[in-house]
């Protein structure tokens, strides 16, 4: 296993869902390090993924395809000589899961199973990082969810699919000794986030002078973390996390949805009394998610970006970077209760022969530089 001291060193990394929001920032972070020889992104480029999220770094290559295509995943692992998998590919929007729950099972459960089986058959994977969610704990009304003691109690189809995927990861670790780490993160915000999520949705609506929908009474509590802090957390877990362990990635502070909306109204100089619209709540809306991140902090991670700074930076990014060509038509995402079905188009295969040759050349160059 490639290590420097006690820290794991990824060399050739597959990032499923790597053109998405959080994953694209993690890819950027990986490529900041010289020892990362190549990152391969596998992404179906459906609704929330975007080619503009992908770095232009020459060490990053992209394969357009579906994580449920086992032959394609195995081919990537073999040809690219992958040693590390970061499994981000997932359907993630809770609202959509109420109306299209089977699609969440297909991607989040079947897709994870396919990726695990490909990793097992490959035989060269030294670390498989599975990206889960704090929502697998269900409502944490009293104490924060803890990796070792809290019972999983998902309350919606999305979180249930992620909990099921976790069980598969643990089973592969037990049955086949596949080295894994699981993360359970809370809400993340920042540049590149598709506007089905609350903060970019509110930003899009306030930019155009429209009212923002508040589910129910707006008092549901969530932790919100800037995406750069989240990417730093994934980097720490990848390199210093203990094999077959679970790590929460949580913000220090909790905020109600309505307080988030009011903070954004202040940035846009909008009167909340005029621009907040209370709408029917979700079929079920957990009142509170909060997790204990002390285990992660023991590895050296700290949340660094303050809320006011991160929120204003995010608004500035959307002002500067977004136009109608970034994601295409986002109108369905801006509805109070998006129910758009995930669009699972057949995967597009790309030849990996040239990539294999390039990988060999890169290895030779890296070895010569040492």
Q: So which residues are the catalytic ones?
A: 134-135, 158
Q: What is the DSSP string of 194-262?
A: -TTSHHHHHHHHHHTTPPEEEETTS--EEEEEEHHHHHHHHHHHHHHPPTTEEEEE--S-EEEHHHHHH
> Residue 61: which residues within 8 A CB-CB, separation 6 or more?
38, 39, 40, 41, 355, 358
The vertex-86 CA angle with 198 and 181, nearest 5°, equals 100
The token pair at 256 is 């109600």
Phi, psi of 355 (to 5 degrees): -65, -35
Q: Do the Cβ atoms of 291 and 140 come closer than 8 Å? A: yes
| Residue found by looking up tokens 């907040």 in the block | 276
Q: Do the Cβ atoms of 296 and 233 come closer than 8 Å? A: yes
């Amino acid at each position: 296993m490639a290590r420097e001291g006690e820290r794991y060193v990824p060399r050739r990394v597959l990032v499923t869902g790597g053109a998405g929001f959080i994953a694209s920032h993690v890819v950027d972070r990986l490529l900041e390090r010289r020892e990362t020889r190549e990152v391969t992104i596998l992404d179906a480029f459906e609704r929330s993924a975007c080619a503009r999220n992908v770095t232009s770094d020459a060490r990053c290559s992209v394969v357009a395809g579906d994580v449920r295509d086992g032959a394609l995943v195995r081919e990537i692992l073999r040809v690219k000589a992958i040693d590390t998998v970061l499994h981000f590919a997932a359907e993630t929007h809770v609202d959509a899961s109420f109306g299209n729950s089977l699609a969440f099972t297909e991607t989040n459960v079947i897709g994870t199973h396919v990726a695990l089986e490909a990793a097992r058959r490959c035989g060269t994977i030294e670390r498989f990082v599975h990206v889960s969610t704090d929502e697998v704990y269900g409502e944490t009304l009293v104490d924060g969810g803890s990796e070792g003691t809290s019972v999983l109690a998902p309350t919606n189809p999305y979180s249930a699919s992620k909990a099921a995927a976790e069980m598969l990861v643990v089973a592969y670790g037990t049955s086949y000794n596949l080295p894994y780490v699981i993360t359970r993160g809370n809400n993340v915000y920042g540049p590149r986030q598709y506007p089905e999520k609350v903060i970019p949705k509110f930003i899009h609506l306030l930019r155009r002078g429209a009212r923002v929908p508040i589910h129910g009474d707006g008092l549901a509590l969530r932790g919100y973390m800037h995406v750069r802090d989240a990417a730093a957390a994934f980097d720490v877990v990848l390199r210093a996390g203990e094999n077959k362990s679970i790590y929460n990635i949580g913000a220090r502070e909790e905020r109600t949805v309505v307080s988030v909306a009011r903070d954004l109204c202040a940035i846009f100089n909008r009167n909340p009394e005029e621009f907040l619209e209370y709408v029917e709540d979700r079929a079920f809306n957990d009142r509170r998610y909060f997790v204990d991140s002390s285990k992660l902090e023991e590895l050296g991670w700290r949340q660094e970006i303050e809320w006011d700074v991160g929120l204003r930076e995010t608004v500035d990014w959307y002002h500067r970077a977004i136009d109608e060509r970034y994601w295409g038509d986002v109108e369905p995402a801006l509805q109070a209760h998006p129910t758009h079905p995930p669009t699972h188009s057949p995967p597009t295969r790309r030849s990996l022969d040239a990539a294999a040759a390039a990988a060999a050349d890169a290895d030779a160059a890296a070895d010569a530089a040492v």
